[in-house]
Structure formats: structure tokens, C-alpha cells
Amino acid sequence: MKISFLSLAAAALAVATAAPTKRQAADDKVIVGYWVPWGRVPVAALDMTKVTHINYGFGILIKKNPDPATITFDRYYDGTPMKELVKRGNASGVKILMSIGGWTGSQTFSSVVADTAARKRFINNALVFVRKNTLPEYAENPDGWGMHGLDIDWEYPGRGAAICNQVSPNDSANYLILLRELRAALDAEFPTDRKLLTAAVRVMPFDGTNGQPMTDVSAFHPYYDFINIMAYDIMGGWSATTGPNAPFDVVPGADPFSYNQSINSWLQAGWPKSKLVMGTAFYGRSMTATVDMVAASPRSIFAPKTNVTPKGGSSDSNEPNFFCNEGSVYSGMWKWKEVREAILTTSLTTPVAGWTRVWDEGTKTPWLFRQSDKTFISYDDPESLAIKVQKAKADGLRGVMYWDMTYDYNNELLNVLQQIKCTSNCPIPTPRPTTTTAVVPTSTTTVPVSTSTSPGVTPNPGKCTGVANWNIATVYANTNTKVVHAGHLFSNKWWTQGDEPSVTNAWGVWSDQGAC
């Protein structure tokens, strides 16, 4: 995750199954949250019924340490919430993992994995997080933290990322050796109480010795329970134009990375669906455009911008990061709760005066624009998130992850993630506004937002021929499934069961395709 560590100033943060085609039961679906102490949401305030795994961010690898294999965390600052999380996790069945790395905490992974002795020291250090404490409860330095697994958040093997990172073309090959040794050490020490091993990864498979994403990463997956794709931080203050933080799909002529692309790229490189978890952003990124993006015709999410990132939400800071100084710059990040508290105060689609909300159909994400100073914010909301969750579900992936647990507003976004497990009465996302449109950058035609307020469509004999009647008990898992009900043809916008199609409910799951 392209995030800050402590300073808040960030620039950016199983064993192989023998049953290859076995479908994941809904119970196996995971909802993974990252929790960070500097987000200032107490562990006691977390709703443990809505997640299956919590990754504690972070234990870090920094060059300041004499031994590159030392995993740094603060026994007081981190230790208290780590203990609280384990306690709450044990009581509620939520798995707690120590996440090692992060944007500024991945500095020495490269030299650790390259050296046999350093790997051994790293593994010994990492195992302390999953060991049971054998010292008295009041001991200041427990010899174990009782966690349920480890999450490796190396950003990124073979691709430096933060300026403080060591990097080598051999990173991914060496990482594989570490994984094999780490998995073996976990299994040797915990033969019955199996410990989890997961990772956070970027939108492309690990980079190979040629500096390009590997075309086959199947050797890696046996060691992980699952990996979480960070399908965000795709465009931001560092980009050449304004654009989406976390696009659902790629748009011709723009940045080639997206949620959809990352799924395809990992699956094509031999990754199993059952071990693929899709990361979502509970935050937006702001940039300063040089044109009035709302007045522009046609409107586009891609516009020229200045190279200075504006201050984001109220918590954004331009203090240099304590662990890796990448400059005194703002991240431009807006937590979802900051967007809700300052801009979308009364409605998900109608901002306060001065701002305009636009839905971008190309990337399937909303954006906000303030004309007075040309501030642009790309973000995710319940509607864009629902599209992503439905995709993960329709593709049979393992689940969803979010960054991070301290950004939400009254669980508004986390509630949408619940759809990954949902089998009936699933929460329905809120509608996009009908007043705005946006276009793809290289297209000459506008893509209007469908309003679907179209009762009284001319009957079209034959259009419903062969289409099954809607059934209250049927699960409609794939979007655009056609059904007939009350003399009309309908198609679903997302996963649904038990929702009756209606011509008057334009915002419901079923969109009216007209009379039969």
C-alpha cells in the first residue's frame, strides 16, 4: 500500500489444493482488512463480524537497522493494539496476521532474501509474531504475539518502488526461496495449528530477472494461502494527467492498469482463482487540474494537471516520512470518511455547494471537482465498489481486501464488501446520478449514463421469446442476465436473489428493458 508510516505523510503503501476445480463455498470467501495504529480508530471500535482476516500494518524492514533481517515494530505503540487484535480475533474467529513491509518498510527485503543466513534470521524474527507467549501476561517483552499468520507486503520484488528500497533483478527468484523456507518453518513449528501465509502484490505478477512481469508465477502459489492484489494507486499526483485511483477497467489511451486487468494478468500467469483476493481502496486521490473539467465538453476523467499534489482530506500532511524521506509533499489522499464529512455530507451523489460529482462510465468510478480551485478527486463509493465485488464474485475469486480499516464512514463501504459472502437479501448499492456524464479519452462519442427511467417503452413483440421468467428463489450471479416479469424484460446490474423486478424502481438491481 502506498501509504504513510507514522508520519501520516505518505507518498503513496496453502498448500496446493488437490481438488483443482472445487468451487469455493460462500463460507470460504474472505474479507481482509488492513488495520494501522496511526489511523486512530481503536481496535475496540472494529466490527469483527464483517471481516474474516485483519492484517496489522506493519512490521518494517529498514536500512537503519544494522541487521537487514530485523523486523522493526514498537513494543508499546504497536504492541498494545497487536494484543487487542489477537484477543478480539480469537474471540470472534477473525484471523490476525502480521503484515511485514509496506511502502516505506520494504527497504531491505532484497538483501534478506538473497542471503541464506539472513533469510534464517528473518524467519526466526517473523515466527515471533505467531508464537504463543510463554511469559507472564504483564511481561513487557512477550516472546510471542499469538497471531494466526504472516502477510508479506514487499513493495515490490524486482521493482524498487520507494526510493529507499534495495532492489535486484534476482528478487523474485530469491523471494521464492524465502517463501519455501518460511512455509516449511511455519509447518514444522505449528503442525496442527496451521499458520497462514499471504501477500500483498501489485497489479502485475512479480517481476522477473529481465525487469518484466513474469509470464508464469505458478511456482509461488503453493506457499501462500492467498494473495491480495493492490488494485489502486494506479493514477495520482505522480501521473501525467488526472485520472482514476482505482479504475475497474482500462480505458483506451490511458494508463493500462485496472482491477479487471490485474485479475486477468495474474490468472494468465497461472495463479489460481481460489487464492486471488482483490484489493479495494477506501480512499480517493486528489490532483489539481489546469482546466475546468466540469465545463469541458466532452467531459473526461483525464485532464491536464499541475505537478503539485494538493492537500487531501483533513488528515493529509506534508511532513516527510520518518522512515523514508521522499520529500515534503502531500499525498492528496482523501479517506472515505473525510469525503463524507466534507463533501458528500448529505448524499452519496450530491456534493456540497462548489463541488460537482461525475460518474465515469469508462473506468466505472466517480470523481469530484471543485471549480474554484480545479481540485479533482478520484475515489470509490458504494456503487463503484459494488461493481468490483460483483466481478470478484462472478469470477469465483477468493474474496476482497480493503485499505484500510480506519477510513470507512459508518461501515458504508465495508457493508458493500459483504456481498462477496452474501447469498440472500444482499445490500444494494446506491445509484449514480443521472445528471452527469463522462467520456473515454480516445473516444469521440460520449457515453451517457443510463437513466433507465423508461416506463411506457413501445412494446416489441418477440424480445422476450425464450427468456425465462424471473424466479424468487433463483440466484442471478452474472450481470446482464435477462428475465421476464410482469410483461417486461429485465436485466440485472449486479448479483441478486429474491429482489422482484419492477418498472418503477429504476435504482434497483433490475433494469427495465421494456415491455415484451
Ligand X SMILES: *[C@@H]1O[C@H](CO)[C@@H](O)[C@H](O)[C@H]1NC(C)=O
Residues that bind ligand X in the complex, under the rule CB under 6 A: 86-87, 90, 132, 146, 148, 168-170, 193, 249, 260, 264
Closest CA to 281 of 176, 370, 187, 366: 366
Q: Please, what is the end-to-end C-alpha distance for the chain in angstroms?
A: 49
Nearest approach, Cβ of residue 73 and ligand X (Å): 18
Q: Which stretches does DSSP call E strand in 443-500?
A: 475-476, 482-485, 488-492, 496-497
Nearest approach, Cβ of residue 87 and ligand X (Å): 5
3-state secondary structure of 340: helix
Nearest approach, Cβ of residue 25 and ligand X (Å): 23
Nearest approach, Cβ of residue 194 and ligand X (Å): 10
Q: Which is nearer to ligand X, 169 or 354 (CB)?
A: 169
**Alpha helical stretches, state H, 114-155:** 116-130
Nearest approach, Cβ of residue 264 and ligand X (Å): 5
Estimate to the nearest angstrom the gap between the alpha carbon of 154 and the chain centroid: 16
Q: Which is nearer to ligand X, 68 or 237 (CB)?
A: 68
Q: Which is nearer to ligand X, 247 or 312 (CB)?
A: 247
Q: Which is nearer to ligand X, 96 or 509 (CB)?
A: 96
Q: Which is nearer to ligand X, 8 or 301 (CB)?
A: 301
3-state secondary structure of 333: strand
Q: How far apart are CA 413 and CA 415, in angstroms?
A: 5
Q: How far apart are CA 455 and CA 488, in angstroms?
A: 10
Nearest approach, Cβ of residue 110 and ligand X (Å): 9
Q: How far apart are CA 90 and CA 300, in angstroms?
A: 48
Q: How far apart are CA 294 and CA 309, in angstroms?
A: 19
Q: What is the largest CA-CA distance in the chain?
A: 78
Q: How far apart are CA 500 and CA 318, in angstroms?
A: 50
Q: Which is nearer to ligand X, 239 or 260 (CB)?
A: 260
Determine contact, residues 487/467, Cβ cutoff 8 Å.
Answer: no
Q: Which is nearer to ligand X, 174 or 513 (CB)?
A: 174
Q: Which is nearer to ligand X, 170 or 430 (CB)?
A: 170
Q: Which is nearer to ligand X, 209 or 290 (CB)?
A: 209
**Cα→Cα distances 455→63, 458, 505, Å:** 65, 9, 10
Nearest approach, Cβ of residue 128 and ligand X (Å): 12
Output the CA angle 459-428-476, nearest 5 degrees: 60
Estimate to the nearest angstrom the gap between the alpha carbon of 367 and the chain centroid: 18
Nearest approach, Cβ of residue 370 and ligand X (Å): 30
- CB contact set of 372 (below 8 Å; sequence gap of 6+): 354
Amino acid at 110: S
- CB contact set of 264 (below 8 Å; sequence gap of 6+): none
Nearest approach, Cβ of residue 149 and ligand X (Å): 10
Nearest approach, Cβ of residue 248 and ligand X (Å): 7
Nearest approach, Cβ of residue 258 and ligand X (Å): 8
Comparing every residue's Cβ against ligand X, the nearest one is 146
- CB contact set of 420 (below 8 Å; sequence gap of 6+): 29, 31, 389, 392, 393, 399, 400
How is 186-230 classified by DSSP, letter by letter?
A: HHHH-SSSPPEEEEEE-SSPPB-TTSSB-S--TTTGGG-SEEEE-
Closest CA to 434 of 388, 383, 480, 495: 383
Q: Which is nearer to ligand X, 375 or 390 (CB)?
A: 390
Q: Which is nearer to ligand X, 350 or 442 (CB)?
A: 442
Give the residue carrying C-alpha cell 508479506: 152
